[in-house]
Structure 1
Amino acid sequence: MSEINILVKRSLEENLLISGVLSNPRKGVTEYKKVTVKPVVLKEELKFQFAYILDRNTVHKNLDTQEAVAELMELFNLYKQGVLYTGEGDYQILINKKGKAKIIKNKASKKVDLSALNHNRKKKYVIEEGVPCDFLERLGVMDSEGNVFKSKFDKFRQLNKYLEVMEGSLKTLDLSKKLRIVDFGSGKAYLTFALYWYLVQKLGVEVEIVGLDLKKNVIELCNKIAEELGYRDLSFKMGDIKGYTEFDEVDVVITLHACNTATDDAIVKAVKWNAKLIMTVPCCQQELFKQIDSDVMSPLMKHGTIKERIASLVTDSIRGNLLEALGYNVEIFEFIETEHTPKNLVIRAGNKGKPSKKALDEYRAFRDMWNLNPYLEKALADELDNIN
């Protein structure tokens, strides 16, 4: 087997291997029908990922180079044939009953993807680095050639992370129809501009997006930028969430970092508009901190810091459960905007249109356990009373 040994060592040690597969196992020596191997980069280290395949299950193992060489040599004792795909060629290996190997070299059928193995490679973003982007240039994030300014790279990553989340969320919507989107608390509107750019310029979706904020100077600046960019279906208006009454129906409601019950006001608007998608990143959860109380959970309430965290989690749980009762499919997950910011919880809710009495009963039991009287429940009283 020395010929195979030389081939295996050279393929792995000189980074020639693109992928490999071993098949046709010898009778009674292994339960795995097939084993594949490919190089991967994990935590900036080159590893070789082995996949041991059963009928419906696959077991994975990641090995360093020398371990992978040893593992492959052992596997060639268990299988009658294999193929190593390298940049130099495809090596078909046939092993007879006596263990004698025949190696047939064919023309390379797979291309070497060096970028996939380079741990210094550029991450592929929704907004590509090195490609000019009009709104990012206007907002001072990149130059006219698409180079991101070093001081703005955290913002560039934040925008891309946001669009990655929205990319998955928008799959539930009918993008062939015009979408009406309201972004409450849009602020300087980096994310609002990013969403417009993604939907209109990248996906070709027809939209009407409104950003709402309380600061007059910010609204004026954002409208000026939108006009300069030719973003004709993007506008910014001054006002608070509770008093905003421009539309009767909205498809998507977004609120990022709305403080305390402002998040609840946005949820109330979304529900009353029968919004198809709600995306919110709550912050500054204060309302229930003074209310929350539970005899069973009293050991957790002794320390203010812990109580504050519990109140925050309970607040978001209440929001999620009330939305489920009202017919939304709810996901709550962590979202790290940049490497230098803390984790935030995202509440993502898609409208199924099927209210749930069971979910409402579960919510009420949960609420009573903590002795709470949430603002959101009171604001949605009419909608909740109609659930049966």
Structure 2
Amino acid sequence: MSVKTTREEWLAYLERIASGNSLAQASFSIPRRKDEETARKLSVRPIKLKSGLFYQFERHLNNKVFHENVAAEQLPEKLADAMNSYKQALFKTADADVQVLANKKGELTMISRAKTVKEEAVPREHNRSKQYVLPEGEPVPFLAALGVMTVEGKVVKAKYDKFRQINRFLEMVADVVSELPRDRTLRIVDFGCGKSYLTFALYHFLAIKEGLPVRIIGLDLKKDVIEACSKLASELEWDNLSFSVGDIADYEDRSPIDMVVTLHACDTATDAALLKAIGWEASVILSVPCCQHELFRQISQPILQPLLKHGILKERLSALVTDAIRANLLELAGYRTQLLEFIDLEHTPKNILIRAVKSRKSDHAQLKAEYEQFRDFLSVSPYMDKNMNSCV
């Protein structure tokens, strides 16, 4: 139910959830101002400290995370202040999930979705155990089907690393989900999906947990793997998740693509996927590169000869240079780009994830000059650079 809300009604709602200790989680997104002082994301959750019930405000600002513990009696005022800085918020309580939207005038609309089963807002023990996007002990059908957990929700010991990897991936998705469009069904392509643990996790998170309209297609060259993934999607009755056999470079789709995922695509296959994403003007790009051979054969710089003469060091440098070039080219294409630490994939020790979010271009001339100087210093001619003009 969607209702325009007066300030008095808004403040009364905040007082009600605070006095009843019913707030399980709140998240604020889409800052009203693009400045260095406003966190791109703010989340709130109850925690139990020795001195009683508090609410932890977690702010993500300039790639850093800041925490503030607020006493329960201060919660309504703090939540009201927070809403003044954001266009959107989601409050999860025992009885309902309430989305709050603010227009340019600061007027609020509340969209409430009642829960069929009442949930208790339980404060978490502070710093005791890792809180996952997909919690331990909560049955998840696709994880049970893939052998990661039992039907009762217990994580299989041999699959715990995979369970952690899935949750780490979803944490990175959760940080940028507010950047995705809300006016249509989201379209997502996963290049080189493999066994699709993360593809299924992405669908579960967006469609089941977040309730967003979404259509995901997984693409891979291995026919038997695609058949197995298609069978599982059918068994789960996830009609908007499909899989196809195909090559990244040959994939064509003229429909708007909102997110592109590419995990452990080898060498320039990663670059091909990134170029596709740029051409589609995808809102979000998530990429974990795998083997990177192209620049290993190209890098040449006499000043660095003490390093380059050692093959193992040259290999590591080539991988870092490759990802740095990809990040810079994404920035030149108008993306806000981060290199984040991921969890090792089973097929590769590479653990860097490139996360890019579409934004307005800024300081293009300076970025271009810095990139070209870096590229020319190492005497490299990257695949992605040579093919940028074909997609922008």
TM range (shorter): 0.5 to 0.7
The alignment of Structure 1 onto Structure 2 pairs a total of residues equal to 281
CA distance in 1, matches of 2:278, 2:123: 48
Cα drift, residue 188 of structure 1 = 0.5
Matching residue of 2:282: 275
Cα drift, residue 366 of structure 1 = 1.0
Task: Check the 8 A contact 1:325/1:357 in 2, yes or no.
Answer: no
Query: Within the alignment, does 1:236 sit opposite 2:243 as a pair?
Result: yes
Shift of the 383–154 alpha-carbon distance from structure 1 to 2, 3 Å rule, reads closer
- From 374, 380, 387, the equivalent of 1:379 is 387
Task: Check the 8 A contact 2:49/2:125 in 1, yes or no.
Answer: no
Matching residue of 1:166: 173
Task: Check the 8 A contact 2:327/2:354 in 1, yes or no.
Answer: yes
Cα drift, residue 181 of structure 1 = 0.4
For residues 225-267 of structure 1, give each alpha carbon's deviation from its aligned partner in whole angstroms, at most 9, with x where no partner exists.
1011011100000001001113443110010111100000001
- From 296, 302, 316, the equivalent of 1:295 is 302
Structure 1 unpaired stretches of 5+: 1-15, 21-50, 52-111
Query: Within the alignment, does 1:367 sit opposite 2:375 as a pair?
Result: yes
Query: Within the alignment, does 1:304 sit opposite 2:304 as a pair?
Result: no
Letter in structure 2 aligned against 1:227: S
CA distance in 2, matches of 1:322, 1:305: 26
CA distance in 1, matches of 2:49, 2:212: 42
SS of the equivalent of 1:313 reads helix
CA distance in 2, matches of 1:113, 1:349: 33
Task: Check the 8 A contact 1:334/1:346 in 2, yes or no.
Answer: yes
Matching residue of 1:116: 126
Cα drift, residue 141 of structure 1 = 1.6
Letter in structure 2 aligned against 1:376: M
CA distance in 1, matches of 2:341, 2:224: 32
Cα drift, residue 382 of structure 1 = 4.1
Task: Check the 8 A contact 2:275/2:391 in 1, yes or no.
Answer: no
For residues 316-346 of structure 1, give each alpha carbon's deviation from its aligned partner in whole angstroms, at most 9, with x where no partner exists.
1111111111111111122224899846111
For residues 280-335 of structure 1, give each alpha carbon's deviation from its aligned partner in whole angstroms, at most 9, with x where no partner exists.
01111100001001122222212111111111111111111111111111111222
SS of the equivalent of 1:187 reads coil
Cα drift, residue 157 of structure 1 = 1.4
CA distance in 2, matches of 1:327, 1:293: 29
Task: Check the 8 A contact 1:325/1:358 in 2, yes or no.
Answer: no
SS of the equivalent of 1:255 reads strand
SS of the equivalent of 2:293 reads coil
For residues 191-215 of structure 1, give each alpha carbon's deviation from its aligned partner in whole angstroms, at most 9, with x where no partner exists.
0000000001100011010000001
Task: Check the 8 A contact 2:144/2:151 in 1, yes or no.
Answer: yes
CA distance in 1, matches of 2:225, 2:314: 36
For residues 70-121 of structure 1, give each alpha carbon's deviation from its aligned partner in whole angstroms, at most 9, with x where no partner exists.
xxxxxxxxxxxxxxxxxxxxxxxxxxxxxxxxxxxxxxxxxx978436x5x5
Cα drift, residue 274 of structure 1 = 1.0
CA distance in 1, matches of 2:359, 2:275: 17
Letter in structure 2 aligned against 1:373: S
Shift of the 367–145 alpha-carbon distance from structure 1 to 2, 3 Å rule, reads same
Cα drift, residue 137 of structure 1 = 1.5
- From 208, 231, 234, the equivalent of 1:227 is 234
Matching residue of 1:18: 50
**TM-align CA RMSD:** 3.0
Larger CA Rg, structure 1 vs 2: 1
- Report 1:1-388 matches (<5 A): 18-19=50-51, 115-116=125-126, 119=128, 121=129, 123-175=130-182, 177-337=184-344, 342=349, 344-354=351-361, 356-382=364-390
CA distance in 2, matches of 1:196, 1:136: 12
Cα drift, residue 353 of structure 1 = 4.0
Letter in structure 2 aligned against 1:284: C
Matching residue of 1:41: none
| Greater RCO (CA < 8 Å, at least 6 residues apart) | 2
Letter in structure 2 aligned against 1:378: K
TM-score normalised by structure 1 residue count: 0.67
Shift of the 341–382 alpha-carbon distance from structure 1 to 2, 3 Å rule, reads closer
Cα drift, residue 17 of structure 1 = 7.8
Structure 2 unpaired stretches of 5+: 1-47, 53-68, 70-121
Matching residue of 1:67: none
Shift of the 315–137 alpha-carbon distance from structure 1 to 2, 3 Å rule, reads same
Shift of the 338–289 alpha-carbon distance from structure 1 to 2, 3 Å rule, reads closer
CA distance in 1, matches of 2:343, 2:391: 33
